[in-house]
Structure 1
Amino acid sequence: MNTETIAKRLVELCREGKYEDAQRELYADDAVSIEPDGLPPGALGNAQGLAAIYEKGRQFSAMVEAVHGGSVSEPVIADNWFSIALAMDVTMKGRGRMNMSEICVYRVRDGKIVHEQFFYDVG
């Protein structure tokens, strides 16, 4: 698959809430997931390898009490890179309801996502 096809498929699966399905289908085994610097202690950090990315996603899901809504933008594509804006309205266990918003940037190599990096305000 080319970058545009992968980007559109990722958006489709994310809009359906099928994040792990997206990872299983679209990510390389050696993919990396990068969070912003300055995260508080106990926050989910970086992950290397698909198994670690799955686990990171499961840990995030376990922290969510309820999902009230969200959105995923259309992708912006540049050669082997693409980005999307992701927003979620969630209630986090022990932390209450919050709106989360981030820019997600992805790199594609050999028909698979090999790098994801998230940009959002910490704190």
Structure 2
Amino acid sequence: MSSATAATLSHNIAFTIFVLGVFGLCAFMLGVSSLLGSRAVGRSKHEPFESGMLPVGSARLRFSAKFYLVAMLFVIFDVEVLFLYAWAVSARESGWFGLGGAAIFITILFAGLVYEGAIGALDWAPMARKKAKARHAQ
């Protein structure tokens, strides 16, 4: 048997043992929790209970579309901050070319933020409240 074949075989055996160990550990944890877990039954066992308070009303709340828009904007800008952090870590190695690229990237981000503000995506107040506020200011 060649050394490459022996290395591949030992790698595959080690990986197989690892996978079997993971499945065995999961089965063990599920089995022990089902054997040692509580079996008490009652009317209040099936009610949700969080933060020391009983639920009031329905869990089916309607959120404004603005909430989802702001959540998406947060995720987008958060990922872009990750890119800037990666650039900041390697700023010395990337030199002036990297600085120019980061400057272009930040300019595009700023232009996107200005555009979002211009179309009103960052405004929280409904239009009726804005109009009433504008009339009151006059």
TM-score higher than 0.5 here?
Answer: no
TM-score by length of 1: 0.24
* Higher Rg: 2
The structure in which a higher percent of residues are helix is: 2
TM-score by length of 2: 0.22
The structure in which a higher percent of residues are strand is: 1
Q: Which has the higher contact order (CA 8 A, sep 6+)?
A: 1
